[in-house]
Amino acid sequence: MDQIKVAIADDHKIIRVGLRGLLEREADIEVTGEAENEAGVFKLVEKAPVDVMLMDIDLGDSNGINITRTLKAKYPNIQVLGLTMHEESDYIIQMLEAGASGYLLKNAGREELLAAIRTAAKGDSYFSHKVSATLLQAVTKQKETATSKPKTPIQTPLSDREIEVLKLIAEEYSNGEIADKLFISIRTVDTHRRNLLEKLQVKNTVGLVKYAIEKGII
């Protein structure tokens, strides 16, 4: 099996060294480099292939949200995982809307970090339990605000199968788990996910989750 090529973007050397030491113990992971600022991130990805980028939000002369947005525009195949101390919903939503595949807090344990990297490398999204709870609370609050306004009939352009897939995505099941539950192939799940993003005109999993909550699907 090919190794997962991981890069680390953090402005604290002690964090970068610690992460490198932890990841290099894993046979299926190769650390391709480290960066402490925006220029370093792009120099790194231009020099060596990267599958997963661990991205801090506080990053030298820029911030991880803006860097992620630019990085995903130039290198859409690189999966970005936010790895930061910021647990506020605004940061989480902005990072995911910028194109990150997931979000972890720096107090995450070793096993959770490895699970997040391996999940992102497969093209799936990963959120820690703390982040999921924060995100759900924020979206629910938005829904409560919306319900205080005059109601209009709920309509959805989705098929019954697409609603099933959307519900499972919003409940944090991976593509493989969704395939098993619905007795379909992972490729079919991928197709449904792409169709959902296109039909609902959203950019990522956060948009899908928001839609699912707003429409009462979860």
30-81 tens-digit pLDDT:
999 999 999 999 999 999 999 999 999 988 778 999 999 999 999 999 999 9
Residue the block writes with tokens 């969704």:
178
Assess contact for 117 and 4: CB atoms under 8 A: yes
Strand partners, 34: 8
Which of 70-74, 80-84, 154-158, 169-173 shows the lowest mean pLDDT across its residues? Answer: 154-158
Establish how many alpha carbons lie within 13 A of residue 36's alpha carbon, considering only the half-sphere containing its beta carbon.
7
Where is 32: in which H helix or E strand?
strand 29-35
Tokens of 78: 């690189």
Q: How far apart are CA 179 and CA 94, in angstroms?
A: 29
Strand partners, 62: 59
The CATH number of the domain covering residues in 4-134: 3.40.50.2300
Model pTM score: 0.68
Sheet holding 52-55, edge to edge: 29-35, 4-9, 52-55, 79-84, 102-105, 126-127
89: Cβ contacts below 8 Å, ≥ 6 apart: 134, 135, 137, 138
The C-alpha angle with vertex 49 and arms to 105 and 57, in degrees rounded to 5, equals 25
Residue ranges per structural domain of the chain: 4-134, 152-214
Tokens of 188: 């079919």
What pLDDT does 56 receive? 95
Q: Which CATH architecture has domain 152-214?
A: Orthogonal Bundle (1.10)
